[in-house]
Amino acid sequence: GNSVTQMEGPVTLSEEAFLTINCTYTATGYPSLFWYVQYPGEGLQLLLKATKADDKGSNKGFEATYRKETTSFHLEKGSVQVSDSAVYFCALLSKSTFGDGTTLTVKP
């Protein structure tokens, strides 16, 4: 079946540190992949997406590359800010499948 496995959290970083949140997936075919961000008490906001192999999605300094050979879609940011503190979800929307979410806390 379809599944998404995310790096377990929580993740705590200092401001300006490098961020990686791992995401791997299992699915038939080549689904589009998404990263969503959820701030406390709010719904999900699309962060970035990639629709085919080797595509790189990017937004607000975050990047993720669709790697078919490793079935991965890891989220990275070179320098995190306190305002990036949130929960991040990797998702296969075609199957409405979400990872468990990774809570990121960035300290000043």
Partner 1 sequence: GAVVSQHPSRVICKSGTSVKIECRSLDFQATTMFWYRQFPKQSLMLMATSNEGSKATYEQGVEKDKFLINHASLTLSTLTVTSAHPEDSSFYICSASGGLSEQYFGPGTRLTVT
Is 45 among the residues that bind partner 1 (CB under 8 A)?
Answer: yes
Is 93 among the residues that bind partner 1 (CB under 8 A)?
Answer: yes
| Distance in angstroms (rounded) separating the CA atoms of residues 45 and 64 | 16
For residue 21, count CB atoms less than 10 angstroms from its CB and return exposed for 0-12, middle for 13-18, buried for 19 or more: buried
Q: 61 to 80, contacts with partner 1 by CB under 8 A?
A: none
Q: Which of 5, 22, 32, 85 binds partner 1 (CB under 8 A)?
A: 32
Is 53 among the residues that bind partner 1 (CB under 8 A)?
Answer: no
- Chain-centre distance of CA 8, in angstroms? 12
Residue 85 Cβ, how far from partner 1 at the closest point, in Å? 15
Residue 67 Cβ, how far from partner 1 at the closest point, in Å? 19
- Chain-centre distance of CA 77, in angstroms? 10
Q: Applying CB under 8 A, which part among 11-19, 28-36, 54-62, 64-72 lies near partner 1?
A: 28-36
Residues that bind partner 1 (CB under 8 A): 31-32, 34, 36, 41-46, 49, 51, 89, 93-94, 96, 98-101, 103
